[in-house]
Amino acid sequence: MSYSRFGREAEYAAGSCLTNYGWDVFFSKGSRGPADIVASRDNTFLLIQVKSSTKIPRIRGAEIQNLIQMSKKISNSYPLLSLVHPHLECNVNNNTILFGNYLINFFILPQWESVDFLK
C-alpha cells in the first residue's frame, strides 16, 4: 500500500471512529490546510490533523502551530492530533481506540493530553 493511500485510509478510520461517537465529520479535500478533519457536535468543533505510520509518525512543528492558530480563530474549537497505527502492540494508553485494523489515539494540543471520547 502506498504512503498516500495509507494516510488517506487513516483519515477515514479516524473520521469513522468519530462518527461512531456522535460527531459530524467533514474531510479536507486533498488533505490541504492545517486540519485533515473537522468534526462538529453541539456547537463544538474539533480541528484534527491525522498522522499515520507503521513506526513513529513524523510530526512537524509548523503543522501543529498552524492547527493551533486556526483553532484560535474559530470559537468553540479545539486542535487535536490523531495518531493512527496498524493494529500493533504499540502506542497503547487507556484512551486508545481499537477501530478495525487500527489503533487510534487523539491528543488535544498544545497540552498533548490524551482525549477520552467515552466521557
Average pLDDT rounded to a whole number, residues 48-58: 80
Q: Which CATH architecture has domain 3-114?
A: 3-Layer(aba) Sandwich (3.40)
| 39: pLDDT strictly greater than 80 | yes
**Under 8 Å between Cβ of 100 and 93:** no
How many percent of the chain have pLDDT more than 70? Answer: 85
Q: Domain spans of the chain? A: 3-114
Average pLDDT rounded to a whole number, residues 39-60: 86
The torsion angle over the Cα atoms of residues 114, 117, 118 and 119, rounded to 10 degrees, is 80
- Give the model confidence (pLDDT) of 62-86 as tens digits: 889 999 999 999 999 999 999 998 8
Reported as half-sphere exposure (CB side, CA atoms, 13 A), residue 71 has a value of 25
| Residue predicted with more confidence, 51 or 89 | 51
Could you tell me the pTM of the whole model?
Answer: 0.87
CA angle 56, 58, 64 (to 5 degrees): 125
- Give the model confidence (pLDDT) of 99-110 as tens digits: 888 889 999 999
